[in-house]
Amino acid sequence: MFIKKLLIITALLVLIAAAVTAYANIAVNRAGLSGIYTVDKVPPADAAIVLGAKVYTSGAPSHVLADRLETGVELYKKGKVKKLLMTGDHGTVTYDEVNNMRLYALERGVPEDDIFMDHAGFSTYDSMYRARDIFQIKTAIIVTQKFHLPRALYIARVMDLEVSGTAADKRAYAGAKIMYFREIFARTKAAAQLAIGMKPKYLGPAIPISGDGRMTKDKI
């Protein structure tokens, strides 16, 4: 009898988890698919939020990140944005996405005062929260791959940011199926974070995006 009850309870919990996951994914996908444009057609905004991804020990960006950075630079050079916010993981001395992102843009002619770094963009949720509260961004173009854009746009819009998105897909990516699969659970997590109003790991004093990006430098 006990085993039977345990199986029933387990089955119910699995069904509830599946229903919550399905609902979260439908809601995020439906709300986040609108407002995605090409570089040429995206409406102008205050800044491009370029979301971080893997950087190798050499400092070279992964293909996923390189394409995001290239798209961000294109938006800047076409006059779609006046500033770039490089947001990613710089949680340790030995792993640094954002300074390498900054160098990529500098090498392609973006002035250093127009490049901001968010050293504590440990997740998409943290990046959007800090873009609003630390960098005081009002309007933005979010730059990431198309599998990631609906979640990023959804989070930003719930946080009252006025955002559009530009997909950075410039090639086929190794492990793409895994990235799409992980996104199912990431969307569910984002919906839960928004529901409880979770705060990011770090906040801090305001660094308005309208100012000088050199204020975010931690290296020469």
Check which CATH number belongs to the domain holding 112 and give it.
3.40.50.620
Question: pLDDT tens, 42-51?
Answer: 999 999 999 9
Query: Which residue type does 121 have?
Result: G
**How many domains does one find in the chain?**
1
Task: Report pLDDT for 173.
Answer: 92
27 in any annotated domain: no
- Per-residue pLDDT band for 99 (boundaries 50, 70, 90) equals very high
- Going by C-alpha positions, the residue among 48, 39, 33 that lies closest to residue 157 is 33
216 in any annotated domain: no
The answer, yes or no, to whether residue 156 has pLDDT greater than 70, is yes
Return d(Cα 163, Cα 160) in angstroms, integer.
9
Calculate the alpha carbon distances from 6 to 3, 12, 15, 17, 18 in Å: 5, 10, 14, 16, 18
81 in any annotated domain: yes
68 in any annotated domain: yes
Instruction: Tell me the mean pLDDT in the region 94-99.
Output: 95
Question: pLDDT tens, 176-186?
Answer: 889 888 888 88
The answer, yes or no, to whether residue 1 has pLDDT greater than 90, is no
- Per-residue pLDDT band for 77 (boundaries 50, 70, 90) equals very high
Residue 76 · residue 48 · CB < 8 Å = yes
Task: Report pLDDT for 176.
Answer: 85
- Per-residue pLDDT band for 93 (boundaries 50, 70, 90) equals confident
The answer, yes or no, to whether residue 96 has pLDDT greater than 90, is yes
- Going by C-alpha positions, the residue among 41, 77, 44 that lies closest to residue 162 is 44
194 in any annotated domain: yes
- Per-residue pLDDT band for 31 (boundaries 50, 70, 90) equals low
25 in any annotated domain: no
72 in any annotated domain: yes
Task: Report pLDDT for 13.
Answer: 64
Instruction: Tell me the mean pLDDT in the region 91-104.
Output: 94
**Torsions phi, psi for 122 (to 5 deg):** -75, -15
212 in any annotated domain: no
Residues of the domain holding 155? 36-203
CA dihedral 141, 54, 208, 108 (to 10 degrees): -70
Instruction: Tell me the mean pLDDT in the region 168-180.
Output: 90
The answer, yes or no, to whether residue 147 has pLDDT greater than 90, is yes
The answer, yes or no, to whether residue 126 has pLDDT greater than 90, is yes
CA dihedral 88, 50, 151, 80 (to 10 degrees): 160
- Count CB-CB contacts under 10 A for residue 151: 25
